[in-house]
A = this chain, B = another copy of it.
């Protein structure tokens, strides 16, 4: 999940998919690498649950799975919130000290 977003090429693919579904060819277009390489990235994204795809005829269409993205976002938000609230308590404590 986090590993899937660790790679810049994969983030480019997610970025593209955030603007709507795309074929493998379309995903590969802004990337300077072979098609098999793109397939490998796509597999990582699918296994992480971030992306799903289905094949119709000879074309595979890929789309984002927002729920999975939300899980990553939530984990980060939770950690950050915990830390920020700790800072708030510290500030409160320091303000109390002053008087």
Contact = CB atoms under 8 A, between A and B. Distances in A.
Interface in A84-99: 84, 86-87
A20 B73 CA distance: 21
Interface in A44-99: 64, 66, 69-70, 72-73, 75-80, 82-84, 86-87
The interface size bin for chain A is 20 to 34
A17 interface: yes
A29 interface: no
A40 interface: no
Interface of A: 2-3, 5-7, 11, 14-15, 17-20, 64, 66, 69-70, 72-73, 75-80, 82-84, 86-87
